[in-house]
Amino acid sequence: MFFLKCLDDDSEVDDLIRREISARNIFILCESPNARTSNWVQQERQIIEDLQAKVYEVVDLTDDWSTQLEAMELVSRRATIYLSYTHSDQWIAQQLAMALRARDFKVLTDREISPATDWQNEIHGMIDTALTRGMVLVLLSPDALRSTGMATEIRYAMTRRSELGDSAPIIPIVIRDYGETMSALRDSSEWENLRNINMLQFISGDSGDVSRIVEMLQRVPLR
C-alpha cells in the first residue's frame, strides 16, 4: 500500500507492479470517474487485458450494489474446483491441485475432510460449491472407472448439474491408458451420463500437460 500511494498520475507503472500483475491470475477491475482519469490505473488495466489467460471482470463503482455483486459473482464462478479422482491416481491429482492453487483457484478434494466428519455430506457439499462457483474435474483412468466411490460422486454431481440447468461445468480428463479408459467408459452403464461430455486428455502427464490443462480451465465460459 505504501508503494502504491507513492505513485501519482504521471508515473509509469513500475516493473514491480508488472511483476505483481503477472503473478496474479484473477482480477476485479474497478471502474469509476477517478479510475478513468488515472493514467497508472489505466496502464495497469491494459497490462491485465494484454496478458493471456487472465481472468477478470469490470465492476463499475457507480452502479448499484447488486450489480457490483453480480460482476464479482462471475469472477468467483471461475475460482473453485472440486477434484474427483481415485487414490491410485493421486500423484496426478496432486500435480493438478498444486498448479491450480498457484493460479489462484480454490481446489477442494477429499484430502481436506476430517476423519471424524460425515464423509458423504462433506463430499456433496464440496461438489455443490464447485458446481455453483466453479467446476468439477473428473480424473478418468481404468482404476477410476472401477471405483464405486467415484461413481457415487459423479452420479450425485450429474444429478445436481441437471437441477442447475445442465450449465454447471463437469469436465472429464483422461489421465492415463486412454484406449482402455474409453473402452471401459463405453461399456459401463454406471458412467453413461459422462460419455456425452467433451473430454480432455493428458498426453504424458508431465508438467507441460498440467500447464495446458490449467490454461484451458481458465478459459471455460462463464455461466
Each residue's pLDDT tens digit, 76-102: 666 788 999 998 998 888 888 888 888
What is the total count of domains within the chain? 2
Q: 26 and 133: one domain?
A: no
The CATH number that applies at residue 195 is: 3.40.50.10140
For residues 57 and 70, the answer to whether their CB atoms sit within 8 Å is: no
pLDDT of the residue at 33 = 92
pLDDT digits (tens, 9 = 90+) for 130-156: 888 788 999 999 999 888 888 889 889
Taking Cα atoms as reference points, which of 209, 190, 191 lies closest to residue 200?
209
Domain boundary among 40, 75, 110: 75
Q: 30 and 128: one domain?
A: no
Check: pTM over 0.75? Answer yes or no.
no
State the Cα angle at 113 between 111 and 115, rounded to 5°: 110
H/E segment holding residue 108 = strand 106-108
pLDDT of the residue at 204 = 54
For residues 53 and 218, the answer to whether their CB atoms sit within 8 Å is: yes
Q: Helix, strand or coil for residue 189?
A: coil
Residue 178's CB: how many other CB atoms inside 10 A? 15
Domain that holds residue 39: 2-75
Domain boundary among 75, 108, 132: 75
Q: 86 and 144: one domain?
A: yes
pLDDT digits (tens, 9 = 90+) for 21-62: 887 777 888 899 998 998 888 888 888 888 866 778 888 999
Q: 68 and 98: one domain?
A: no
22 within domain boundaries: yes
Residue 37 C-alpha cell reads as 482519469
Q: 55 and 87: one domain?
A: no
